């Protein structure tokens, strides 16, 4: 099964960013094909962990990272 994880600000490294990376690594170890899409920079030690665990790391274009979805609006 393919899984995509998208986080638009991995350059500011905090709790949400670590969760994205650790979820990607854990799901990859479980046998899923994981793609991690991000914008920003990933610290070298985290990038090494992702590569070692066969997580596909793909950088978003700046225009995509600035796209926001209105979650409180229902579109019919």
pLDDT at 30: 96
Question: Domain extents for the chain?
Answer: 2-60
Give whole-number Cα distances, 19 to 7, 26, 48, in Å. 10, 10, 16
pLDDT at 68: 57
Half-sphere exposure of 3 (CA within 13 A, CB side): 18
pLDDT at 42: 80
pLDDT at 73: 52
DSSP-based three-state secondary structure for 38: strand
Give whole-number Cα distances, 36 to 20, 21, 33, 63, in Å. 8, 8, 10, 17
* Fold category of 2-60 in CATH: Rossmann fold (3.40.50)
**pLDDT band at 76, cuts 50/70/90?**
very low
pLDDT, tens digit (0-9, with 9 covering 90-100), for 9-64 = 655 667 888 888 899 999 999 999 999 988 777 888 888 888 899 999 888 776 65
């Amino acid at each position: 099964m393919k899984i995509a994880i998208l986080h638009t600000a991995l350059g500011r490294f905090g709790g949400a960013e670590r969760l994205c990376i650790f979820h990607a690594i854990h799901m990859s170890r479980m046998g899923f094909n994981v793609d991690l899409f991000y914008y920003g920079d990933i610290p070298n030690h985290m990038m090494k962990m992702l590569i070692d665990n066969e997580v596909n790391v793909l950088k978003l274009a700046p225009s995509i990272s600035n796209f926001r979805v209105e979650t409180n609006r229902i579109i019919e």
